[in-house]
Amino acid sequence: MMCIQEDAADKPTMSSVVFSLSTDTCTFPTSNNSSDMGSFFLVPAFIVLFSSSHQLSFCAAGDRLAAGQSISVNQTIVSAGQIFALGFFTPENSDAAANLQYVGIWYNRLPGRTVVWVANRETPLRDPAGVLTVTEDGNIAVLDGMGRTVWSTNRTGVPSNTSAVLLDSGNLVLGDGNGGDDVWQSFDHHTDTFLPGMKQRVNLTTGVSTRLTSWRGAADPSPGQFIDTADPKNPLQNCIFKNSEIYVRLNPWDGKALATYGTPGITNSPIVYRIVKGDDDLTLSINMATNSILGRVVLEYTGTLTIFILVGSSWVRMASFPDKICDFYNRCGPFASCISTQSSCRCLDGFEPRKPEDWKMGNFTGGCVRRLHLQCDGTDRYVMVPGMKLPDGFSVMWNRSMQQCEAECSTGCRCQGYAYADLSSLDGGISGSRCLVWLGEMKDLEQIPARGENLYVRLHESELEGNNTRLEDGIFPRKNKNLIKIVAPILSLAMLLTAICCYFSIKMHKSRVGKRRSRKIVLPPQGLGITSALGSEKEMPDATLFDFKIVKAATSDFNNKNKLGEGGFGPVYKGTFLSGQEVAVKRLSKGSKQGYQEFQNEVRLIARLQHNNLVRLLGWCTHKDEKILIYEYMSNKSLDKFVFDPTRSAELNWEKRFSIIKGIANGLLYLHQHSRMRVIHRDLKTSNVLLDSEMNPKISDFGLARTFQTNQEKENTQRVVGT
């Protein structure tokens, strides 16, 4: 057809004919004479040639498919820089009899065919007469010989003049022919390969993320059983799933914006991972440090995530994951760390193997358990474990200080530890901080000194004294065995001497013990802390024992800006917990004439008294010499602020005054007659009557109160108290 031209200038040379027949792309010569009779012969010949087909197709040229153009199974389009090609392919070593055709993108000028994207991986074409085209509705589609859709981009509302362009990045873009916005691109629909310029987007709230899906086999591009994506439960970490189970887990994001990997033989050309954090999402991309290097990340059908770099004309594996036994998920069980250099496991400090006999046999899956349970009374401490792959199962909080992060973990008994990262101190322009806490078992730990983080594990305070023998790898360390041989005889002799001494001293101490028991307690007994003297939380279910660090953080370290006032007990501060709850914090002053007895009265009495006109005690705290009470916050402060202030006194009309008087009377009536114990306040005054946001009165400050028996009429006091 090309040779039917009248003008000799329009006739192709023999070499151009040979080139056109040997290439996959179709090009047609154009005539300079619009009235050329050659066109008369060309059109009928073209129609006759394709009259048996049900579709009229035009070949694409260059790097694009315009609307109505198509390529068949033996044709391709090539990106402008000749880097990538798009067309039909049959996987190498596949079943030739099946004749399955896939539309894919591969590197154009490399030996073999390195496929980086597959369109119809779930619906291969079985018809050699099929085509890839841009259809009338503006979509890219694979059609069989009968014109039926095998695969499509399936976009709605697409302009009719769209065209598909293959870029040098390997991205196939469907765009508006008039220069409008792109309506679809292959970079948003990953298969098994992650190319420079692609982006993995992770929604930190929903856990929804783009993903890589492996091939089913080396010669089967259909979706396989391995998926690399963000963990839906903890989107800060990527996992490779085998079907629905975690196969391997990558490190949680440590807040760093960049990560580089060196290239074998090309030390100055690393591959760069870049992470950008938005308000509610993370975006991961990779780039090559120089444009002269080609690289890709592939999730292979075996479940291995591999970074490839092109060196010469061959692909070189730069890094693979998993590549060692400790990479596989939760190999050592809970609270145990995998040691790569020894291919063994080790319990965290303060823990011991759940099943020691299994550990001696090399079976570590049972993990470890605590030697001593947490106290949860403010005495637990944290030990730092450096260079760790942080365990699975964390909860994340943003923009907390390290002190607040630790306080958050200390709030309840469920928290096992925490990790903190100040994002502002890292490169990349990210601000804020990241706090991770573990409210359950710590699983999938590994020692990785070069890339690990500090993990703070919560322990019983005695575990930090260093007197406990540690069981590692199912055996006692040699130095501990030698120590036992020396210490055991000494302990036996000491126990014998102690027994003899006790025998001769029991009678001498009996009388002293009796006297101590008969004494009335005014201060905590010697050797017994305030916490023990007051009783456990079970005895006072309505009063919570708070950790001192939580109280300190809530009041901004008892900042004077938060000070509400000061009484005989000490200063009162406004505090705000991390949950947003506002509280009043009363702190015993070192110069106060009140002390332990008044503090004990407050905790024991108010915890058991419940009435609308009595202030509610939310909790208490002791730390060294500190004695602190936490109450519900009264926004209008005390009654004296109104009564003795000429300006604010006008706010109290007779109706409000009468309501306050009735409320105080109801509170006193409850204390004197209707409470579980008969209580005389002994310090009732306007400064001890607090007003809530609706001006309801609440009696407070029970430090000087006395309890009476229900049938008791009078009592003698030893000192003058009250106002």
Provide the token pair at 375: 């106290």
Return the pLDDT at 37.
33
Model confidence at 555: pLDDT above 80 = yes
Q: Indicate the average pLDDT of the chain.
A: 78
Query: What pLDDT is recorded for position 17?
Result: 40
Q: What are the tokens at 575?
A: 């505090």
CATH of residue 678? 1.10.510.10
Q: What is the DSSP string of 510-531?
A: HHHHHHHHHSPPSSPPTT--HH
Instruction: Kindly list the distances between the CA atom of residue 490 and the CA atoms of 3, 480, 493, 497, 502, in Å, as whole numbers in the listed order.
Output: 110, 15, 5, 11, 18
**Phi, psi angle pair for 473, to nearest 5°:** 55, 25
Predicted pLDDT at 502: 67
Claim to verify: residue 22 and residue 67 sit in the same structural domain = no
Same-domain check for residues 670 and 697 = yes
Residue 530 lies in a domain: no
Asked if 602 and 691 sit in the same domain, the reply is: yes
Q: Within a domain: residue 360?
A: yes
Residue type, position 4, single letter: I
Same domain, 137 and 285: no
**End residue of a domain, out of 323, 352, 373:** 323
Inter-residue contact 477 to 369 (CB < 8 Å): no
Any domain includes 315 = yes
Residue range 35-88, pLDDT digits in tens: 343 333 333 333 333 333 333 344 555 888 988 899 999 899 999 999 999 999
Provide CB contacts within 8 A for 589, sequence distance 6+.
Answer: 566, 569, 570, 571
Domain at 68, CATH number: 2.90.10.10
Residue 343 Cα distances to 150, 348, 366, angstroms: 49, 16, 16
Highest mean pLDDT: which range of 251-260, 265-274, 711-720: 251-260
Average pLDDT over every residue of 357-382: 91
294 and 335 assigned to the same domain:
no
Contact 339, 324 (CB under 8 A): no
Identify whether residues 134 and 249 lie together within a single domain.
no
Domain extent, residue 124, equals 53-188
pLDDT at 465: 66
Q: Report whether pLDDT(467) > 70.
A: no
Number of domains in the chain: 5
Rounded-to-integer distance, Cα 156 and Cα 137, Å: 8
- Distance CA(150)–CA(135), nearest Å, equals 13
Q: Which residues contact 80 (CB under 8 A, 6 or more apart)?
A: 62, 63, 167, 168
Q: What does the pLDDT read at residue 28?
A: 37
pLDDT reading at 433 higher than 80: yes
Sign of dihedral through CA atoms 211, 216, 219, 221? Answer: negative
Q: What is the pLDDT of residues 192-250, one digit of tens each?
A: 999 999 999 999 888 899 999 999 999 999 999 999 999 988 888 999 999 999 999 99
Tens digits of residue pLDDT in 160-194:
788 999 999 999 999 876 666 788 999 999 999 99
- The number of beta carbons lying within 10 Å of the beta carbon of residue 57 is 16
Indicate if 11 and 84 belong to the same structural domain: no
DSSP string computed for 372-424 = S----SS--EEEEEEEEEPPEEEEEEES--HHHHHHHHHSSSS--EEEEEEGG
Asked if the structure places residue 125 within a domain, the reply is: yes
pLDDT at 25 exceeding the cut of 80: no
Claim to verify: residue 199 and residue 216 sit in the same structural domain: yes
Domain match, 396 and 291 both:
no
My answer on whether 684 and 550 are in the same domain is yes
Q: Indicate the residue among 323, 350, 374 that finishes a domain.
A: 323
Same domain, 448 and 400: yes
Q: How far is CA 350 from CA 138, 374, 445, 455, 487, in A?
A: 65, 11, 15, 14, 22
Q: What sign does the CA torsion over 25, 116, 170, 142 have?
A: positive
What is the Cα–Cα distance from 701 to 143, expressed in whole angstroms?
Answer: 84
| pLDDT tens-digit series, residues 511-526 | 454 444 333 333 333 3
**Which pLDDT belongs to residue 105?**
97
Q: How do residues 278-323 score in pLDDT, each as one tens digit?
A: 888 888 888 887 777 889 999 999 999 999 988 888 898 888 999 8
Residues 6+ apart with CB under 8 A from 222: 121, 122, 124, 215, 216
If you average pLDDT over residues 97-120, what whole number do you get?
91
With contact defined as beta carbons under 8 Å apart, do 116 and 96 qualify? no
Residues catalogued as catalytic: 683
150, part of any domain: yes
| Structural domain contains residue 517 | no
Q: Which secondary-structure segment (H or E) carries 479?
A: helix 478-518
Cα 31 from Cα 1, distance rounded (Å): 13
* 144, 414, 708, 720 from 716: Cα distances, Å: 105, 48, 11, 11
In a domain, 488, yes or no: no
- The answer on pLDDT for 149 being more than 90 is yes
CB 83 within 8 A of CB 172: no
Residues 348 and 385: their CA atoms lie apart, in Å, by 8
541 and 641 inside one domain? yes
Looking at 136, 169, 188, the residue that finishes a domain is 188
Strands 351-353 and 544-545: unpaired
User: What is the mean pLDDT of the segment spanning 12-32?
Assistant: 40
Residue 431 has pLDDT above 80, yes or no: no
713 occurs within a structural domain:
no
